[in-house]
A = this chain, B = another copy of it.
């Protein structure tokens, strides 16, 4: 591997940024990586664990001279962060992000990108339920997808190719997608499933006739996978739903429509409808295993992460 950017700045030091740092270091993909987090506690932790070559005291200091700036804060905070860095960006630099929604990020960030700086939004489809500077590990992006979502159709091809090289160096597969389609695809594969998982866990917590201790003890029967999803960072997810409102509401509408059909089948005892439905959904699972995004092994094939 070789250096893709001389200097990379990571703004916000949570799960994604810290994983990026370890992956960039592992691959020798950048000369220097600077970092900034708004909270002094997070900056202290980062210094303590060696996260970033240099932890800075301001956005301005972190982006100064950087060839690539990656905004890694919750989606709702990206606009103000972009405004703060505006005057300090190096001409010819690239600004990117890792937000889970793209249309609203582009609306919030693009106006603050000066002439001569490239803005190339991106979204890594990887995560765990953990958050904060200590949660990252170099393997997070291995064989996961990174979507590059150019804000304009005339995005500079060389700048796009360089960002792609960085992510490929971190182990990701890269696709390019337009913002509208990105937000719809993610509403289906991520945002709505998260909302549903949060809801189911909330219902379980709220029932008076079944104790929390029972729910927790007996979670292995299916509920456990929901709790993992529903343990993700609350601020990040609040921002996702508020900023990808239209697509999420559309998919939720389709979801409740289908759920009511299955509910009616249960009420009326229509076993054939249920059996057909459950048979159809099995095929999708096989596709995911064939696509290498999961394994069929009883251990789920997951291997331990390292720094």
Contacts and interface: CB of A to CB of B under 8 A. Distances in A.
A223 B303 contact: no
B237 A278 contact: yes
A160 interface: no
Given A125-B221, A262-B199, A215 B188 contact: yes
A197 to B, nearest CB: 8
A232 to B, nearest CB: 8
B215 A189 contact: yes
Contacts of A91: none
B222 A229 contact: yes
Contacts of A181: 209
Report which residue of A144, A193, A231 has the largest number of chain B beta carbons within 10 angstroms of its beta carbon.
Answer: A193
Interface of A: 76, 100, 125-130, 137, 139-140, 144-145, 147, 175, 181, 184-186, 188-207, 209-210, 212-232, 234-235, 237-239, 241-242, 245, 248-249, 251-252, 254-256, 258-259, 262-263, 266-267, 269, 271, 274-275, 277-288, 291, 293-294, 296-300, 302-305
